[in-house]
Amino acid sequence: MDIVFINDLRVKTVIGIFDWERKIKQTLRIDLEMGGDIRAAAKSDAIDDAIDYKAVSDCLKRLAEESKAQLVETLAERMAETVLKEFKIPWLKLTMNKINAVSGVSGVGVIIERGKRS
């Protein structure tokens, strides 16, 4: 399986369980690995045959902007489900880092893997 990746995508969203968190937007850092077969895109040299990482990035930004999730787990799952469905990705690994959430650490978050890896 080939991997197309997006690293260090920064999105702003309302996220968190505390009252003060519901009143502000916080920055999340997202890394995404998307599995697939890139041979058709390599042969045709056409974006229609590729995993369009700009379109995926725009989709993730839109989902973050629209989200009112309390948990990073919820938002990560929604993002994974959407990317798998809309971009017909067979497998992905999404890392969501809520930077500055806990004092003394560079970030906390989740890593989820969805789909079938072949």
Half-sphere exposure of 45 (CA within 13 A, CB side): 0
Which of the residues 54, 88, 98, 116 is marked catalytic? 98
Catalytic residue at 43?
A: no
> Nearest Cα to 59, choosing from 36, 82, 75, 76?
82
H or E element in which residue 98 lies: strand 91-98
**Helix, strand or coil for residue 22?**
helix
Alpha-carbon gap, residue 97 to 115, rounded angstroms: 21
- 111: which DSSP letter? E
Query: Where in the sequence numbering do the catalytic residues fall?
Result: 98
